[in-house]
């Protein structure tokens, strides 16, 4: 089971749902989260930051490396590794995927009581369309699906 957390960006206008693979890293490893509206506040440093479709995540890589060393993970802690391997990344493929998924399931819930096969087909079709939109927009995790 992985820890999941909702975190607001620096301007507090937007939030992202985050996932922490294997509960290895504490939430404090993410020092700052900037949405597209407040990303201008970030002083870009590619050694500790990762950008994904206008969102910027700033990591405490020294502490992350300490956790990796304690657990015997030989890979060097980099923003790309933490994000791409899911150690501290979006819950889903983009910051709002948790909410999108919940809304989709709520909207289709009545159909599940009427026709389960149609419910599953509709769920799959709509999610596939959603993921295609994320890929087209350039979301990093969607590119790997």
What is the reported pLDDT for 1?
62
Report mean pLDDT in 10-residue bins for the chain, 145 residues: 89 97 96 98 97 98 98 96 97 96 96 95 97 97 94
pLDDT of residue 33: 98
pLDDT in tens, 51-88: 999 999 999 999 999 999 999 999 999 999 999 999 99
How confident is the model at residue 127, as a pLDDT?
Answer: 96
DSSP string, 88-130: SEESSSSTTHHHHHHHHHHHHHHHHHH-HHHHHHHHHHHHHHH
């Amino acid at each position: 089971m992985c820890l999941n957390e909702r975190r607001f960006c620096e301007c507090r206008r937007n939030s992202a749902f985050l996932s922490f693979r294997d509960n290895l890293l504490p939430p404090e490893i993410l020092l700052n989260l900037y949405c597209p509206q407040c990303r201008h506040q970030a002083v870009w440093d590619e050694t500790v930051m990762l950008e994904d479709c206008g969102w910027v995540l700033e990591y405490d890589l020294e502490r992350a490396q300490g956790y990796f060393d304690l657990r015997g993970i030989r890979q060097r802690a980099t923003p790309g590794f933490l994000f791409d391997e899911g150690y501290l990344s979006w819950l889903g493929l983009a910051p709002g995927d948790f909410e999108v998924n919940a809304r989709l399931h709520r909207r289709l819930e009545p159909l599940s009581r009427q026709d389960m096969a149609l419910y599953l087909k509709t769920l799959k079709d709509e999610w596939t369309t959603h993921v295609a939109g994320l890929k087209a927009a350039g979301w990093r995790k969607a590119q790997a699906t």
